[in-house]
Amino acid sequence: MGKTVVCGVDEAGRGPLAGPVYAAAVILDPARQIRGLADSKVLKAERREVLSERIKERAISFAISSASVEEIDRLNIFQASMLAMKRAVEALGVHPEEAWIDGNQCPRELPCRARAFVDGDARHKPISAASILAKTARDAEMRALHERYPGYGFDQHKGYATAEHLDALGRAGPCEIHRRSFYPIGVFYERDLFRDSWANLPEAQRVRRYRLLMLRHARRQLRD
């Protein structure tokens, strides 16, 4: 009997305050090995790009999908991530017999068997490959979105809650690709909490007030 056809599946972009969440599915070719596959988070950006091209050249099949900011806000980030992974598996040109998912849960209604692996992106090469494709695809999308929304630094932080990103939010408020269901963005749409008084403040005071609000939120999370 031949070996089971396995696709590795992983997502990128659950944590950021802006932009879509991406997922990839990859069926590696045992006859065309790729050296250096690892969790995308431990690889330098240049190395990820090199490996991404090799994966695309040598894999039996791969697919990259996403879930939009609107879907993240409507479904929640976990369900949107599951949806992006399901779309990636369904988009493969070769039907896998089994999907190996990074994490502790699998998307529902996949077209094949599924197994979840905690830290799978560091333990299993098909999942490592998927993590690299998802990460590089999302990074490319955030660089493109930076051209449309240049005031936030999306090309640098890719939407994550860095100090620079939070300062930009304090100055200008969110744009249409920010995730309203995430607290640091949602406060701008709660009229009685933040929006009207913030808009009337000088820029320096807006940044300072927003920083203080985020610090209080972080402290509450630590207590909880």
Torsion of CA 209, 17, 158, 110, to 10 degrees: 170
> Which pLDDT does position 224 carry in this prediction?
66
DSSP-derived 3-state class of residue 161? coil
Q: Compute the C-alpha angle 70/134/168, nearest 5°.
A: 55
Give residue-wise pLDDT tens across range 29-78. 999 999 999 989 899 999 999 999 999 999 999 999 999 999 999 999 99
Of the candidates 85, 73, 133, 127, the one whose C-alpha atom is nearest the C-alpha of residue 109 is 85
What Cα–Cα distance (Å) separates residue 162 from each residue in 16, 75, 165?
9, 25, 5
Torsion of CA 167, 168, 174, 176, to 10 degrees: -150
How many residues in total does the chain contain? Answer: 224
Do residues 184 and 17 touch, judged by C-beta distance below 8 A?
yes
Task: Please check the confidence at residue 190 and state whether its pLDDT lies above 90.
Answer: no
Whole-number Å distance between alpha carbons of 62 and 128: 13
Give residue-wise pLDDT tens across range 95-141. 999 999 999 999 999 999 999 999 999 999 999 999 999 999 999 99
Whole-number Å distance between alpha carbons of 98 and 212: 48
pTM of the model: 0.93
Q: Which helix (H) or strand (E) holds 160?
A: none
- Model confidence band, residue 222 (pLDDT cutoffs 50, 70, 90): confident
24 strand-pairing partners = 10, 64
- Model confidence band, residue 1 (pLDDT cutoffs 50, 70, 90): very low
